[in-house]
Amino acid sequence: MADEYKPMGISMTNLTIGYGGLLIAWGIAVSLLSGSNSITSFIPSIMGVPLLISGLMTSFQPQKKKLWMHIAVSFGLLCALGGTRFFMVMSDGINYASSSMLMLLVTGSIYTYLCVQSFIHTRKNATE
């Protein structure tokens, strides 16, 4: 698509793949560094898998881009909403768990914002 929305010069498809990969790596790294045996330390990774899959499916099925990107933004919003738990635990100080929550809040919010901007851009260009 010639007039595709590209924040920072990166297509939303590639941004979604990268964000999913980042979340997967973050969850694994935090779990290993903290020595945690809890499944909750893998929540960023768990959220990253559907994002990565959605991004890859958008690449493989460009005719279904709208569907896959709506799935992706849903998980981005879940990341942001899940990260709001940071405000409940921030008085305990920054540790591995709270840093993961803060990371999910910030990156999920930014990703969701960029997706909404992409949807608006696409809608405006479709009517012209």
For the stretch 64-79, pLDDT in tens is 999 999 999 999 999 9
By the 10 Å C-beta count (0-12 exposed, 13-18 middle, 19+ buried), 40 is classed as exposed
- What's the pLDDT band for 16 if we cut at 50, 70, 90? very high
Report the alpha-carbon distance of residue 74 to residue 122 in Å, rounded. 18
Q: Which residue has the higher pLDDT, 1 or 48?
A: 48
pTM over 0.85: yes
128 vs 46, which has greater pLDDT? 46
* Separation of alpha carbons 83 and 43, rounded Å: 10
Mean confidence (pLDDT) of the chain: 93
| 3-state SS, residue 23 | helix
The rounded distance, in Å, linking the Cα atoms of 52 and 40 is 19
Predicted local confidence at residue 118, as pLDDT = 95
- Specify the amino acid at residue 49: V
